[in-house]
Chain A
Amino acid sequence: DAGVIQSPRHEVTEMGQEVTLRCKPISGHNSLFWYRQTMMRGLELLIYFNNNVPIDDSGMPEDRFSAKMPNASFSTLKIQPSEPRDSAVYFCASSFLETQYFGPGTRLLVL
């Protein structure tokens, strides 16, 4: 298996623009997580899906953030409109039993 796949790997955008991050989890994993990592706050859980259903979105910062998982092999995290404070590395992870497998991340810079 290729592991968790994320795209794009890097994204530079201007404030106010819409940003869409994509994730393909490992086949057979039934849980998917979106995290945000910054130097100040570390790794923060944004949203958790189980069997394609959003279970916990309490970590989503505000209404500008939304996430979907239309099927077991694809998820998106959208930020609209983006702001400079959204600049961070965004990770997607999928899990089998208790272990999480992370993708390479998307480094987002909002100017």
Chain B
Amino acid sequence: SQKIEQNSEALNIQEGKTATLTCNYTNYSPAYLQWYRQDPGRGPVFLLLIRENEKEKRKERLKVTFDTTLKQSLFHITASQPADSATYLCALDMVDNTDKLIFGTGTRLQVFP
């Protein structure tokens, strides 16, 4: 069955540095991958979508890469700020012609001033 892995340990970095989060998957080939942000007590919020034929996508300080050979996506936040502190979830499509997604368990990012 499909499996998604995100680093369950929190990532602690200093303000201004680049945060890099990893999402690995096994046992299938998704057509696209998404990243969501979740703040405590709130629902996930969509950030970026990258398709299998795209290597990289950027949005302001965010950058996502998608390596279908390694079955891995990297999520970068450059010039990180304390306001970027949150849990970040990766999600993959289920390759069944629906809008269903499989979510990873998320990685908590803490940016210190």
Contact = CB atoms under 8 A, between A and B. Distances in A.
Interface of A: 4, 31, 33, 42-43, 45, 48, 50, 55-56, 91, 93, 95, 97-105
B98 A43 contact: no
22 contacts: A4-B43, A33-B100, A42-B103, A42-B104, A42-B106, A43-B44, A48-B98, A48-B100, A50-B99, A56-B98, A91-B43, A93-B43, A97-B99, A98-B49, A99-B34, A99-B46, A99-B49, A100-B91, A100-B101, A101-B46, A102-B45, A104-B43
A95 B32 CA distance: 15
Interface in B80-113: 89, 91, 93, 98-106
A27 to B, nearest CB: 17
Which 7 A-B pairs rank lowest in CB-CB distance, beginning with the nearest? A102-B43, A42-B105, A43-B103, A95-B99, A31-B99, A99-B46, A102-B44
Contacts of A99: 34, 46, 49
B42 interface: yes
A98 B32 contact: yes
Nearest to B6: A42
Contacts of B41: 104-105
